[in-house]
């Protein structure tokens, strides 16, 4: 009886093991993927950096608050077959498109600064130019958004009277 119970447990474990190997963990992709090649000296990693699982048919909207008196760098990375990454910066209050990287041949990094705190919606999709139609239907990959920041440099103001 003990022998049958052990075989049953082994059978269940063998069924579960391949599922965990096939599952893709995208939680820290922005820390491990190609985004890390874009790390800039003097910048810190912003805690609102994100990674998500994404297929070529999906679009993700990310809402982020950016604090004033800081420079930010956005870097997007994904698997080779999913490039290029298409992102749009939207003002959530007015719905206006502030920037669309399709106008700049899908650049993957963007530097921006804010004088005052501002919330933005970042709408992201992958174009998947290197993927076949079959891969577009079935493939899900990781997408990373690495956000780096630094405080504005202190400037001396010369006042003359």
Distances, alpha carbon 79 to alpha carbons 21, 39, 85, 134, 141, in Å: 18, 18, 10, 16, 6
C-beta of residue 136 within 8 angstroms of C-beta of residue 54: no
What tens digit of pLDDT does each residue of 82-109 get? 999 999 999 999 999 999 999 999 999 9
Average pLDDT, the chain: 84
Complete domains list, the chain, with CATH: 24-151 (2.60.120.380)
Please name the residue that has the structure tokens 């096939």: 22
What tens digit of pLDDT does each residue of 61-74 get? 999 999 999 999 99
d(CA 31, CA 105): 25
């Amino acid at each position: 009886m003990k022998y049958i119970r052990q075989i049953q447990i082994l059978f269940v474990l063998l069924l579960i093991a391949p599922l965990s190997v096939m599952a893709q963990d995208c939680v820290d992709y922005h820390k491990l993927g190609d985004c890390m090649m874009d790390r800039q000296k003097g910048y810190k990693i912003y805690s609102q950096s994100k990674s998500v699982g994404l297929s070529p048919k999906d679009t993700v909207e990310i809402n982020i608050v950016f604090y004033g008196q800081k420079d930010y760098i956005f870097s997007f990375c994904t698997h080779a077959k999913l490039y290029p990454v298409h992102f749009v910066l939207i003002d959530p209050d007015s719905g206006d498109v502030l920037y669309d990287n399709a106008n700049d041949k899908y650049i993957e990094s963007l530097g921006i600064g804010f004088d005052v705190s501002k919330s933005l919606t970042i709408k992201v999709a992958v174009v998947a130019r290197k993927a076949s139609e079959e891969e577009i239907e079935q493939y899900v990959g990781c997408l990373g958004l690495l956000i780096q920041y630094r405080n504005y440099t202190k400037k001396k103001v010369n006042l003359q009277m």
